[in-house]
Structure 1
Amino acid sequence: MNSRRVTAAGAVLAGAMLLAACGSGSSSGSKPAGAASGATGASAGAAGKVDLTFWAWDPGMDKVVALWNAAHPDIHVTLSNPAGGDQLVSKMITAHQAKHGPDIAKVEYQSLPGLVANGVVKDITADTTQAVADFDDATLEGVRFQGKVYGVPQDFAPLMLFYRADLFKKYGLKVPTTWDEYAQEAATLHQKDPSAYMTNFDAADPGWFTGLAQQAGADWWTTQGDSWHVDINGAPTKKVADYWQGLVNKGVVQKNPSFSPQWNKEMNSGTLATWISGAWAPAQIGGIAPSTSGKWAVAPLPAWTAGDKTTGIWGGSAVTVTTDSAHPAQAAQFASWLNTDPAALTAQVKYINIYPAATSGRSLPILDTPPAFFPNQPDYYTQVKNVAPTARSFSMWGPDVTVTFAAYSDKFGAALQSGTSFDAALDAIQNSTTADMKKLGFGLH
């Protein structure tokens, strides 16, 4: 872990007492041992079967959990899908305040520092010593703070360009390798068919835009000592915003948010020719646009400069154990199995289309076969493997990412509705983030 990351993690953890006023838990306020199932983790063996709850949103995760339950009759995991992404984080915090959180939860990497500071997720270092040996240091950076492990990495999600190969052929489009080419092809497509658009600008989910900012070289949060610097509206991110405002103003991209009913319809009908998404996209497309199987292909993300292979990351998650769990050792055992066991990883590739975070998982035989929804691209996982080494995230995530992401949805949504400046939206997100950090007691420079 680099020194800047250690410093940032220290600043997050140092703010835990300040965040406590916002409802974080403590050891004295945690759920009493046995509150969930009548037995503590230490006495689980004597008490018999342990029941664990697992919050996650992956389509197909039920099939993976079923493998665990069949092989571990004494530790039963019940899967629930209350929400996804940062919405799940909000539910986790609310549940923790009521002392009724799940035992295990999937958490995107950017949300983990805030959950650590809020006392929602548990230090599982002692229960994951064997599991963490299967991850490289770059992967562990997302879950390890001040030498303590707070989650087991699940997947790695570099941004890729997913495109409708049939539509590109129909309209004579070239797969773009630069953002200039992408804009040119977007204009050509819409000129040939005014009802067709290259993609949508999603003002509801910030994940894709964050990844594009990373590709452009942005670092939204950095630290110096215990002081933070926030640069959400810096030059790299404004370059991205200006580019997409140009496409929106020209009318060559749609404005519907991803995963909305209208967007689902457009993906299925062929109204949208591309989707900028993480490597996990095939599992989502199968549910969103079931009639398009075999029509999609994947390519590296277009570059700002020809030949530059840098991409960003959308999502990627860890499996955490909450401080509300009465059985943390067993919960950590499941989290470790889920993300290091060859059978579990194979099932996740098969049913969820993850690209494994575990080093050994990236050599699984199943990765020689493309996702079921991409039967015409046998080199799908080779494409991801080639891109993965050049994917970059921010050097660190801030302590109030949920505030930043909520501001993104509010400010970009308003800008799309009113036709106002995306740059101004970034300025407003910057102000919302810094104001919240000051309120929580974090020093800024």
Structure 2
Amino acid sequence: MNRLAAVAAAVTLVAGCSSGGAQQSAAPSSSSPAAQKVALTYWNWVPGMDKIVAVWNTAHPDIQVTSSTQAGGDDSATKFLTAAKAGNPPDLVQAEYQALPSFVAAEAVADIKPAADPVKAQFSEGIWGLVTLGTDAVYGIPQDSGPMLLYYRADLFKKYGIAVPKTWQEYADAARTVHAKDSKVYLGTFSSKDPGSFAGLAQQAGGQWWSISGEAWKVAINDEPTKKLADYWGGLVKEGVIDSMPYFTPEWNKALNDGKLLTWPSAIWAPGPLSTNAPKAKGKWAIAQLPQWNAGESFSGFWGGSAVSVSAGSKNKEAAAKFATWLNSDPEALALLVKEGSIYPAATKGADLLSEPPAYFSNVPDFWKQAAGFGAGARGFTFGPNVNVAYNAFKDAFDKAALNKTSFSDALQSVQDGTVADMTKSGFKLAQ
């Protein structure tokens, strides 16, 4: 069986390859009964997870979970895949949404659909799609999410006489107005170092970078919505009316702190970085819906977030799936994730647990209610099995394009070509 066939079997595709999915889909039912005393290990990087696990352990003496703190990011994903290949993975793993397809491709995580189906209604369609890869299989329970919205300096919008942009055209017009009034001030910046942000904006625009067609992967990073997005930002960079400094750099921090950058299209977790990097602007920022491509629309995208998956190599899949479901859907567990882990729960009812606004946004008393509304319109999006390759190709190509003010469409094509070449080399079957 080639690698694509293995992937297709793993995701139990309903179109033409369901016969290959029996091993994965049957995994949970073949696991040890939950009534038998079992010990589970959970790799994650959520602060305070040991306290949350302790609550579970007290209530479930027959299923004891040990939380093992990991670094997060690509290093943790590589570590998990290595452990899975060696036959000694943890029972549960925190999986970033963009890393999950590579776990599925490696047959490292189990389909937990029987345990997951009862809580499906607690998650938005866009979030749920991130753990299904567009199939009937379920490869994790969503834990946290990063719906995107627009952060803006309300005081400086007033100073420069601009309104909160409702469309991207209005955003571009406002960028020109601001920069014309003060050449040292920019409405925003394009970051070539943050492909996750670009992916979220592409999702909002209607892009679909990966999809599965029959037994083949389709790669369309250069689809029309994403081309439109690339041309839009590339045009503003070339025109010089927005900056091109990357996020999370000393220069970016200073610009935010000094009021030289007026907006940040970011995720719901942005209050943390803003409070650290721009302390002088506390109480001066406000939030709004992302500008839309067409007036009257209400779309968003995701930047960040993760799920809890069950290892295919776990000897106690049923018990592990029970814990993963409790952790991300039970009201007590969600409250603990907010209190101890400081995360924004993926479950829709999680937002109700967030009453007090972030201290940095004390001027927006209904911050969480507003943010939940702005991020509710996220479109479906499927990540592919080699996101790391695509993201590295993005950084290389868009770094050069931003520096030289050359075509962002050409840079996007470079990302598409590099991603396809890597998938072909790795043995994935690609749709024509």
User: Could you say which residue in structure 2 is the equivalent of 1:435?
Assistant: 421
Contact 1:161 1:274 (C-alpha < 8 Å) held by counterparts: yes
Kindly state the Cα deviation for residue 143 of structure 1 after the two structures are TM-superposed. 1.8
Aligned pairs for 1:21-40 (under 5 A) are none
Q: Counterpart of 1:67 in structure 2: which amino acid?
A: I
Partner of 1:379: 366
| Uncovered stretches (5+) of structure 1, i.e. residues with no partner | 1-8, 17-26, 28-39
In 2: Cα distance, 1:10 partner to 1:342 partner: 39
Q: How much has 1:132 moved relative to structure 2? A: 4.5
Q: 1:126 to 1:428 in 2, by over 3 A?
A: same
**SS of 1:110 mapped into structure 2:** coil
| 2:399 corresponds to | 413
Give the structure 2 partner of residue 6 of structure 1: none
Which whole-Å CA distance do the structure 1 matches of 2:374 and 2:300 have between them? 7
1:68 aligns with 2:63: no
Paired with 1:281 and 1:142, the residues of 2 have a C-alpha distance of 21
- Asked whether the equivalents of residues 93 and 309 of structure 2 are also in contact (C-alpha less than 8 Å), the reply is yes
1:209-220 to structure 2, matched below 5 A, reads: 209-220=198-209
1:15, 1:442 within 8 Å by CA — same for their partners in 2?
no
Aligned to 1:286: 275
Q: 3-state DSSP class of the match of 1:373? A: helix
Moved more, 160-169 or 295-304: 160-169
Q: Secondary structure at the match of 1:198?
A: coil
Letter in 1 for 2:399: G
Structure 2 residue 393 is the aligned partner of structure 1 residue 398? no
Structure-2 residue corresponding to 1:21:
none
Asked if 2 retains the 8 angstrom alpha-carbon contact of 1:67 and 1:344, the reply is yes
Q: Tell me how far apart the structure 1 counterparts of residues 280 and 391 of structure 2 sit (CA, whole Å).
A: 32
| AA partner of residue 337 (structure 2) | Q
In structure 2, relative to structure 1, the CA distance for the partners of 1:128 and 1:239 (3 Å cut) is closer
> How far off its partner does 1:374 sit?
1.5
Shift of 1:411: 1.2
Distance 1:342 1:44 in 2: 23
2:252 aligned with 1:236, yes or no? no
Q: Which residue of 1 aligns with 2:260?
A: 271
CA RMSD of aligned residues (A): 3.3
Question: 1:95 offset after TM fit, Å?
Answer: 4.3
Work out the CA distance in 1 between the residues paired with 2:295 and 2:122: 35
Relative to structure 1, the CA distance from residue 195 to residue 325 in structure 2 (aligned partners, 3 Å threshold; closer, same or farther) is farther
**Paired residue for 1:3?**
none
Matched letter for residue 95 of structure 2: V
* Distance (Å, rounded) in 2 between the aligned partners of 1:102 and 1:258: 34
Partner of 1:109: 97
Rounded to whole Å, the distance in 2 between the matches of 1:153 and 1:289 is: 31
Instruction: Find the counterpart in structure 1 of residue 166 from structure 2.
Output: 177
- Which residue does the alignment assign to 1:5? none
State the TM-score, normalizing by the size of structure 2.
0.81
User: 1:43-442 to 2 correspondence within 5 Å?
Assistant: 50=39, 52-56=41-45, 61-70=46-55, 72=57, 75=64, 77-84=66-73, 86=74, 88-99=76-87, 101-125=89-113, 128=116, 131-132=119-120, 134-135=122-123, 139-144=127-132, 147-323=136-312, 325=314, 328=317, 331-350=320-339, 354-362=343-351, 364=352, 366-394=353-381, 396-439=382-425, 440-442=427-429
- Once residues 206 and 101 of structure 1 are traced to their aligned partners in structure 2, the CA distance between those partners, rounded to angstroms, is 29
Whole-angstrom CA distance in 2 between matches of 1:262 and 1:347: 36
Matched to 1:62, the amino acid is: P
* 1:152 shift after superposition: 0.7
Output one character per residue of 1:314-349: Cα deviation in whole Å (capped at 9) or x when no partner: 233211233455665554344223211223323434
Match of 1:13 among 8, 11, 16: 8
CA contact (8 A) 1:173 1:185 kept: yes
* Secondary structure in 1 matching 2:94: strand
Distance in 2 between the 1:270 and 1:422 partners? 27
For 1:23, the equivalent position in structure 2 comes to: none
Structure 1, residues 222-277: CA drift from partner, whole Å, max 9, x if none?
44432343222232211111111122123333333223344334333433221111
Whether the aligned pair in 2 keeps the contact of 1:312 and 1:391 (CA below 8 Å) is: yes
Q: SS at 1:319's partner residue?
A: strand
TM-score, normalised via structure 1 length: 0.79
**Contact 2:34-2:318 at 8 Å conserved across structures:** no
The residue identity in structure 2 corresponding to 1:257 is P
CA distance in 2, matches of 1:69, 1:268: 40
Q: Distance in 2 between matches of 1:306 and 1:126?
A: 41
CA contact (8 A) 1:281 1:353 kept: no
Q: How far apart, in 2, do the equivalents of 1:122 and 1:219 lie?
A: 25
Aligned CA distance change for structure 1 residues 359 and 386 (closer, same or farther; 3 Å)? closer
1:313 and 1:391 in contact (8 A); partners too: yes
In 1: Cα distance, 2:243 partner to 2:77 partner: 29
Counterpart Cα distance in 2 of 1:94 and 1:269: 45
8 Å Cα contact 2:151-2:286 kept in structure 1:
yes
- In the TM superposition, residue 358 of structure 1 has moved relative to its aligned partner by 2.2
Aligned pair in 2 of structure 1 residues 256, 94: CA closer, same or farther (>3 Å)? Answer: farther
For residues 189 and 352 of structure 1, the distance between their equivalents in structure 2, rounded to whole angstroms, comes to: 39
> How far 1:131 sits from its partner (Å)?
4.6
Distance change in 2, residues 1:90/1:321 (3 Å): same
* SS of match in other structure, 2:395: helix
Cα distance between partner residues in 1 of 2:277 and 2:32: 40
- Percent of aligned pairs with the same amino acid: 43
Q: Take 2:267 and 2:41, find their aligned partners in 1: how far apart are those partners? A: 29
